[in-house]
Structure 1
Amino acid sequence: MKVSIIGCTHAGTFSAQQILTEHPDWEVTVFERNDNLSFLSCGIALWVSNRVSDPNKMFYSSPEDLAKLGANMKMKHDVLDIDLDNKKLKVKDLINNKEFIQDYDKLVITTGSAPVIPNIEGIDGENVFLCKNWSHANELKNKTDIKSAIVIGAGYIGAELAEGYSTLGKKVTLIDALPHVLGKNFDENISEVAEKDFIDHDVSLALNEKVTKFISNPDNTVTVVTNKNEYTADIAVLCIGFRPNTDLFKGKIDMIDNGAIIVDKYMHTSRPDVFAAGDSATVFYNPTQKNDYIPLATNAVRQGILVGKNIEKNTLAYLGTQSTSAVELFSRSYAGSGLTKNGAQSRNFEVDSISFEDNYRPEFMVSTTPVLMNLTWDPESHVVLGGSLTSKYDISQSANVLSLAIQNKMTIEELSMVDFLFQPNFDKPINYIAQIAGAAVAQANK
């Protein structure tokens, strides 16, 4: 059996590993246009701000590792065209510029995502940078002698990069078209906590502002013009999101509106013997029970494994995702899973919600600290649909608890009665997750 894999970041790496583990005698060829694979781009801000022990450890695999498993690694190779009817790929070797045709029996599309780069005047200026891959990471790391930076995009990546530059003592401006930091990740009450921390650390916030122009200045600085103001710094970094890198397959495979390839629960696409996974594909979003686009490494890894499990026959179904995630900013944890109230509204999905705040452990302890929480649920069934938290205490694993609750369709009544541990070092007699679930029950039964 001949398998071709196009793209090898997270989904491609795990697809190759799993296919060769299940079928060591198969001929697996991996095409990757870069010279590296498996880069954990979520660590870029940490590396730039000197919080990574060794950048080489930001790669969990290598071409050599996959070759040892039996993969035929074609690094620095770009797939130019695809003939799905005849199962052939047109490939270019980027080193010698030679082109050739590769045939296959089964195809795996793991081309990932690309940064969103809007058509804005001056965006290709030499002091305007991206924050996505290993090349971008090196460019940003080589610019740490700067005194100021403008970060555009206040989602996880942009917020973490802005925080990182702030910890290095840089003058930082954080711009976003939305009215709140982390506006797509959390509701306003949690976003406002993050905003206060940014302001307290002298980060200038330019929220509800849309970038309209970049100006490269004679003194080697860049000016970012928005619909309201102008800001000047040594560099500007774009962190405004990602899109599926699937232009090669448009009109050939079924996609949703943004270009993400639609896959079923076994990672099949609309074409026979063609699989897709990771940032190039849709995920099944359990809170809404619909296909969605949620580019997370965790989703890519699981989907990549499923490609390997199901490439010969359907053996293991995708459980879906809750889009569980977390970030730490200025020693405060933010974590969530499933639908926020705002996320539900943007999807025209009806939820009930509640906010709750309490100390994570008893007040008789020498120290404790509050946890601010939100919870959403279905108004009719009372099934939990989402939750989010922030605290100076590490609440990140609580998002995993909420993820399990959503995945298993627990009700708020059931979540309020889960057998959580009690020990004064860790929590109160009623764990804070059970507390907000209980508050939800009380509100729902009014």
Structure 2
Amino acid sequence: MVRQIVIIGASAAGIEAAAAARKKDRTAEIILITQEKTAGYSRCGLPFVIAGHIPNFRDLVVYPPAFFQMQKLDLRTQTKVSAINTKDKTLTIQTKENSTQSLPYDTLVIATGAEPFMPSIKGKEKAGIHSLRTLEDGEKIDAAIKAGAQSALIMGAGLIGLELSAGLVERGLKVTVVEMLPQILPQFLDADMAKLIQQHLEEKGITILLNTIVEEFLGETQISAVKANGQVLEADLIISAFGVRASTNLAKEANIPLGETQAIKTNARMETEIKDVYAVGDCAEAPSLITHRPTCAQLGTIAVREGKVAGTNAGGDYSLFNGVLASAVTQLFDIQVANTGLTQTAAQRNRIEVITATVSSKTRASYFPGTKPIKIKLVVEKESKRIIGAQIVGGEEVTQRINSLSFAIQQGMTIQELAKADTAYAPPLCETWEPMILAAEMILMKLR
């Protein structure tokens, strides 16, 4: 009998699940359902189209229609799943023609992603608040710029908010960022490292208001300004970057249990507590490799890994997902920033006693033309001496260093082992002493 695998969501996690399932079961009927008009595009690239680095939003489509045809995947766009019946193993769907149908499944993968989060702010029901989550969101912001917008107010100083801020400045807009916490990138960096990024952004012309709470959206029916900390802030573009929340309404209504993060609870096979129902990507939780507690990091790299595991299992094979470090990297103007594992703040929040060290160095020999600064912070668990986190801010060569430190954490490397690591050197490529090694030696000095 032909297996029917249905996947709700056709972004990174959902498509990876479909591709993995197809590799394991060549005969299965695999159906992908998405409410969006366009499937298989990179959400991560949206700010960089707005910045002008990528010519067109359509360039973000990673999986063209030919991919789905080649893989024999039944892609249904502009289709909404309104209910899941886990007892009968059916879905209620509304098609683009507005008809309601019942769709059976043998195996279900929930990859519903996440939705922009909006706090309870007075006037939030008014028109004129933009967000950046979908291709259509990006096109609306781009259209506003082309229509003459000259200023932007961005609410939230996380990764998306700051990537978009940099992009809008590059398009010639005057940008203000408001953040309720005392630092930018609060989930990503410790305050000392975040300060370096803030200074860089301010040098580029971005106004950053920390400890600033948005109190009200002003205007009749269309928002024209924001009231924050009693101050009226006007802008042509008002953008919500408060963050996202796991899209779990379908799961909750179907009595599929959520976990402590309020994302869908899963096991190591990415299976929910309901048999033959999996959850992956931004709507699902998975364990931290360090604390072993559930987390929902909502990164594209995690989504595709989870999707591959769930798809393999849905296709009849066996695969496990080990957990996440939430390694991430981005570029803001001329500076690169990266993180893996726990920040010092997160470690303290989890009651882990740590020792840290921060080292400033150069990306090439100091005498070589074009050398750029780089700063590395290591976070080490005091008792075991194991590396549990790292942050890097630099002009270049950040990604592979953070990847190396991610590998070190996953292999349980101690700070003594890192300090003795064999590294390469050439004047146009790096310093004689690798900055990661210098940071490790500084921690060893503190331990002594």
Shorter-chain TM range is over 0.9
**Mapped pair 1:141 → 2:142:** yes
CA contact (8 A) 2:356 2:380 kept: yes
Give the Å deviation of 1:20: 1.3
3-state SS of paired residue (2:144)? coil
Q: 2: distance between equivalents of 1:417 and 1:388?
A: 20
Give the superposition deviation at 1:91: 1.1
Q: Partner residue of 1:6? A: 8
8 A contact 2:281–2:306 mirrored in 1: yes
Task: Tell me how far 1:228 sits from its aligned partner.
Answer: 4.1
Equivalence map 1:381-400=2 (5 Å): 381-400=384-403
- TM normalised by structure 1 equals 0.95
Shift, 1:221, TM fit: 6.6
Ranges in structure 1 where 5+ consecutive residues have no aligned partner: none
| Distance in 1 of aligned mates of 2:223 and 2:33 | 38
Partner-residue secondary structure (3-state), 2:377:
strand
Counterpart AA for 1:56? R
In 1: Cα distance, 2:198 partner to 2:128 partner: 26
Task: Give how far 1:22 is off.
Answer: 1.8
1:57 corresponds to:
59
TM-score normalised by L of structure 2: 0.94
How far apart in 2 are the matches of 1:331 and 1:222?
Answer: 32
In the alignment, residue 115 of structure 2 is paired with which amino acid?
A
Distance 2:232 2:446 in 1: 46
Correspondence for 1:37: 39
2:135 aligned with 1:111: no
Cα distance in 1 for partners of 2:197, 2:331 equals: 10
How many pairs were matched up?
Answer: 443
Q: Percent identity?
A: 25
Q: What amino acid is aligned across from residue 291 of structure 1 in structure 2?
A: P
CA distance in 2, matches of 1:229, 1:256: 39
Q: 1:361 and 1:191 mapped to 2: Cα distance?
A: 23
- What's the counterpart of residue 78 of structure 1? 80
Provide the rounded CA distance (Å) in 1 between the counterparts of 2:308 and 2:398.
28
Distance 2:360 2:379 in 1: 15
In the alignment, what sits opposite 2:127?
A: 126
Structure 2 unmatched runs, 5+: none
Contact residue 7 and residue 109 of structure 2 kept, 8 A = yes
Shift of 1:293: 0.9
DSSP-derived class of the 2:427 partner: coil
Cα shift at 1:392? 1.7
SS of alignment partner, residue 375 of structure 2? strand
SS in 2 for 1:250: helix
Distance in 2 separating the partners of 1:48 and 1:197: 20
* Residue equivalent to 1:157: 160
Query: Alpha-carbon deviations, 1:293-320, whole Å to 9, x = none?
Result: 1000110011111112222455332232
Does residue 102 in structure 1 map to residue 103 in structure 2? yes
Which whole-Å CA distance do the structure 2 matches of 1:258 and 1:122 have between them?
28
What CA distance in whole angstroms lies between the structure 2 residues aligned with 1:256 and 1:420? 42
Structure 1 position 249 matched with structure 2 position 254: no
Structural mapping, 1:304-343, within 5 Å: 304-313=307-316, 315-343=318-346
Corresponding letter in the other structure for 1:441? L
Q: Residue type of the partner of 1:391? A: G
Tell me how far 1:169 sits from its aligned partner: 2.2
Whether contact under 8 Å (1:221, 1:232) holds in the other structure is no
Q: Deviations over 1:18-46 (max 9, x none)?
A: 11122120011121111111221222211
1:434 aligns with 437
- Distance between the aligned counterparts of 2:261 and 2:339, measured in 1? 24
CA gap 1:368/1:73 in 2 versus in 1, 3 angstroms: closer
Aligned to 2:424: 421
Residues 357-416 of structure 1: CA deviation (Å, up to 9, x unaligned)? 122333232443321111111111111100011112331221111111111111111112
Could you tell me which residue of structure 1 aligns to residue 169 of structure 2?
Answer: 166
Query: CA shift at 1:440, angstroms?
Result: 1.5
Indicate the larger mover: 246-255 or 28-37.
Answer: 246-255
Give SS of 1:136's match. helix
State how far apart, in whole Å, the 1-side matches of 2:10 and 2:350 are: 31
Q: Structure 2: which amino acid aligns with 1:395?
A: V
Does structure 2 conserve the Cα–Cα contact (< 8 Å) formed by 1:153 and 1:174? yes
| Corresponding letter in the other structure for 1:109 | I
Moved over 4 A (4+): none
